[in-house]
């Protein structure tokens, strides 16, 4: 699992325009309102997720 790089300009701007699978630094970045944290030990990042999928594929929930 890794963020889609096509939305890099939406990461960290807090405008809520990032698509699902795009990178994020807070819930405010994501159109879905859910920035799920991924912490695999070797990688730590946020990825916009659907609220009902925020614990799938190694994601550790919204609120990053």
Task: Give the closest residue to 37 by CA, choosing from 46, 28, 50.
Answer: 46
Residue 62, in any domain of the structure: no
Residue 64, in any domain of the structure: no
| Cα radius of gyration rounded to whole Å, the chain | 10
Residue 63, in any domain of the structure: no
The count of domains in the chain is: 1
Residue 16, in any domain of the structure: yes
Residue 30, in any domain of the structure: yes
Confidence of residue 16 (pLDDT cuts 50, 70, 90): very high
Confidence of residue 53 (pLDDT cuts 50, 70, 90): very high
Task: Give the closest residue to 28 by CA, choosing from 41, 53, 11, 40.
Answer: 11
Q: Which domain holds residue 38?
A: 5-53
Would the pTM of this model clear 0.85, i.e. be above it? yes
Residue 60, in any domain of the structure: no
């Amino acid at each position: 699992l890794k963020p889609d790089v096509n939305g890099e300009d939406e990461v960290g701007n807090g405008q809520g325009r990032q698509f699902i699978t795009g990178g994020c630094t807070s819930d405010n970045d994501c159109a879905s309102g859910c920035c799920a944290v991924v912490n695999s030990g070797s990688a730590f990042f946020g990825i916009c997720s659907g609220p009902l999928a925020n614990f799938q594929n190694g994601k550790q929930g919204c609120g990053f």
